[in-house]
């Protein structure tokens, strides 16, 4: 049992001045109970919390820290950039280099840099609506695209974790006007019949369909293949047939599952793509991009307005460029191999503990579903919601007590980095059997 006295003290203070004591909801441990760990420092695959506990990190800042924490070359680039000033409100070489790196690795011709994934998806909707002269947007239940009003209809991630998700197409949060989500059509993921029917009915009013390139915010869901056609290829084709734009949200998958992202696995070329997380190297940086003809609709060339005081920030751009430069083929081989080790170990310990589960992956991104015995595959949000969250909470705390920091939610991917070496992986693998037994005890107590 590790001590959390100092974290508890900070959490008390935090709750007085910050709602719930956190600046992003899932950090608050609401879904698993207990005191969130306040982090004092991090290096490689390890976090050090305020009480001095060493934790092997499987959150990696929810994706960005793909090279591990405080990577020496990233820190050097950031330090060097910061010493030359932290923001100018005028263009810099650093942002040109980051934009070039993104364009070189992905199917987009031009990008605009912003500060968060939310900003990227928000602007992409505006751009798609302007380009098509249409208002409707299609999304999938359980896909999270940031806290954009129009996309907070049946959203995943923190919304799923906190159990606030409501009926399809009604707002997932108070404060989102029903008139806004009334422009959003929400469909079950992997359901081609539903997509075809929605486009048959509303096709001439749909501006775009936006999807996570491979969903990771309701746990990891595999985009299915039917008659040799990948789900994303089907979506792109359906959009094209109806004059709508296909928007791929690669904020989580981009530069993580391959050197480009999910595009590297399915080869589908979307009209517009959003990026974030990895490309910021741990700083607030994100982007959206697409064909030049669409991107030229943006101010100052076109009339679609978009702006940002800190967009393309020189320190964030230096962190992002350096991270992308270091992400070579060897990195992806390492991540794939580490993910394999963990997936296998999870499946073995859960099976040995008699704990029903499903492990799913999209490239090196994977997650574990605490689903009942009759579930062998999780294709959509409705199935993901059949998870035993009490068993997950028991598992989470057993792992944490043994020094492994997992996402405090049953609806999130586990994130690895190149800093997860044999020592870090062994520590995780060794803690799995006892944690699986702790979860199985809760699951079986619920059944009886």
Q: How would you class 173 by CB atoms within 10 Å of its CB: exposed for 0-12, middle for 13-18, buried for 19 or more?
A: middle
Round to whole Å and give the CA distance between 81 and 100. Answer: 18
DSSP, collapsed to helix, strand or coil, labels residue 305 as: coil
Instruction: Using CB positions, name the residue nearest to ligand PLP.
Output: 117
The catalytic position among 4, 277, 380, 381 is: 277
Q: Which member of 101, 128, 252, 378 binds ligand PLP (CB under 6 A)?
A: 252
Round to whole Å and give the CA distance between 162 and 251. Answer: 21
Q: Name the minimum Å distance from CB 29 to ligand PLP.
A: 18
CA distances for 249 relative to 211, 215, 253, 354, angstroms? 6, 9, 8, 36
Verify binding: residue 212, ligand PLP, rule CB under 6 A. yes
Q: Name the minimum Å distance from CB 343 to ligand PLP.
A: 20
Tokens linked to 423: 């020592």
Which stretch, 28-36, 160-168, 248-256, 260-268, contacts ligand PLP (CB under 6 A)?
A: 248-256
Q: Name the minimum Å distance from CB 220 to ligand PLP.
A: 11
Q: Which member of 21, 146, 219, 363 binds ligand PLP (CB under 6 A)?
A: 146
Nearer to ligand PLP, 316 or 346 (CB): 316
Tokens linked to 93: 């070489």
Verify binding: residue 116, ligand PLP, rule CB under 6 A. yes
Tokens linked to 127: 């751009």
Q: Name the minimum Å distance from CB 375 to ligand PLP.
A: 24
Q: Which member of 144, 199, 275, 370 binds ligand PLP (CB under 6 A)?
A: 144
Residue among 268, 270, 275, 256 nearest 363 (CA) = 256
Verify binding: residue 249, ligand PLP, rule CB under 6 A. yes
Per residue in 356-379, is it b (16+ CB within 10 Å) or e — as a string? bbbbbbbbbbbbbbbbeeebeebb
405 is an active site residue? no
Q: Name the minimum Å distance from CB 393 to ligand PLP.
A: 22
Backbone CA torsion sign across 216, 221, 227, 228: positive
Verify binding: residue 117, ligand PLP, rule CB under 6 A. yes
Per-residue x/- track, 273-302, ligand PLP (CB under 6 A): ---x---------x----------------
144 is an active site residue? yes
Contact 361, 415 (CB under 8 A): no
Round to whole Å and give the CA distance between 65 and 262. Answer: 18
State the virtual CA torsion across 177, 182, 188, 189 in degrees, nearest 10. Answer: -80
Tokens linked to 375: 């579930």
Verify binding: residue 395, ligand PLP, rule CB under 6 A. no
Verify binding: residue 153, ligand PLP, rule CB under 6 A. no
Which stretch, 89-97, 138-146, 309-317, 427-435, contacts ligand PLP (CB under 6 A)?
A: 138-146
Applying CB under 6 A, what is the total number of residues that bind ligand PLP? 14
DSSP per-residue codes, 148-173 = -GGG-BS--THHHHTT---STTSBSS
Backbone angles phi, psi at 44, to 5 degrees: 60, -125
The catalytic position among 4, 49, 57, 249 is: 249
Verify binding: residue 409, ligand PLP, rule CB under 6 A. no
57 is an active site residue? no
The catalytic position among 144, 189, 332, 381 is: 144
Verify binding: residue 217, ligand PLP, rule CB under 6 A. yes
Round to whole Å and give the CA distance between 254 and 260. Answer: 6
Q: Which residues 6-45 are close enough to bind ligand PLP by CB under 6 A? A: none
Which positions touch ligand PLP (CB under 6 A)?
116-118, 121, 144-146, 212, 217, 249, 251-252, 276, 286
Active site residues: 144, 249, 277
């Amino acid at each position: 049992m590790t001590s959390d006295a100092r974290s508890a003290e900070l959490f008390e203070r935090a709750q007085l001045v910050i709602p719930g004591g956190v600046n992003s909801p899932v950090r608050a441990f609401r879904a698993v109970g207990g005191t969130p760990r306040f982090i004092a420092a991090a290096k490689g695959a390890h976090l050090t919390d305020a009480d001095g506990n060493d934790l092997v990190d499987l959150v990696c800042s929810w994706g960005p820290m793909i090279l591990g924490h405080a990577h020496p070359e990233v820190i050097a680039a950031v330090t060097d950039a910061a010493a030359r000033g932290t923001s100018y409100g005028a263009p810099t070489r650093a942002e040109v280099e980051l934009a070039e790196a993104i364009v070189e690795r992905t199917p987009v011709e031009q990008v605009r840099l912003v500060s968060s994934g939310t900003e990227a998806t928000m602007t992409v909707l505006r751009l798609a609506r302007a380009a098509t002269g249409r208002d409707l947007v299609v999304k999938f239940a359980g896909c999270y695209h940031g806290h954009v009003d129009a996309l907070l209809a049946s959203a995943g991630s923190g919304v799923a974790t906190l159990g606030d998700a409501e009926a399809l197409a009604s707002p997932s949060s108070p404060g989102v006007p029903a008139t806004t989500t009334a422009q959003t059509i929400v469909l079950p993921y992997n359901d081609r019949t539903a997509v075809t029917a929605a486009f048959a009915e509303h096709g001439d009013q749909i501006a775009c369909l936006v999807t996570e390139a491979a969903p990771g915010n309701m746990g990891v869901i595999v985009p299915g293949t039917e008659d040799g056609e990948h789900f994303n290829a089907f979506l792109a084709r359906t959009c094209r047939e109806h004059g709508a734009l296909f928007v791929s949200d690669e904020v989580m998958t981009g530069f993580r599952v391959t050197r480009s992202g999910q595009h590297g696995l399915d080869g589908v070329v979307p009209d517009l793509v959003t990026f974030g997380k990895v490309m910021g190297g741990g700083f607030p940086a994100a982007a959206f991009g697409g064909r030049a003809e669409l991107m030229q609709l943006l101010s100052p060339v076109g009339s679609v307005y978009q702006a940002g005081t800190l967009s393309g920030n020189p320190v964030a751009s230096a962190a992002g460029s350096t991270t992308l430069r270091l992400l070579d083929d060897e990195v992806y081989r390492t991540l794939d191999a580490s993910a394999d080790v963990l997936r296998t170990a999870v499946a073995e310990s859960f099976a040995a503990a008699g704990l029903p589960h499903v492990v799913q992956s999209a490239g090196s991104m994977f997650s574990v579903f605490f689903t009942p015995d009759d579930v062998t595959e999780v294709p959509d949000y409705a199935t993901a919601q059949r998870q035993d969250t009490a068993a997950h909470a028991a598992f989470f705390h057993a792992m944490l007590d043994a020094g492994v920091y997992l996402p405090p939610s049953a609806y999130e991917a586990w994130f690895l980095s190149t800093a997860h070496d044999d020592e870090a992986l062994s520590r995780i693998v060794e803690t799995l059997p006892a944690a699986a037994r702790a979860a199985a005890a809760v699951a079986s107590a619920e059944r009886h």
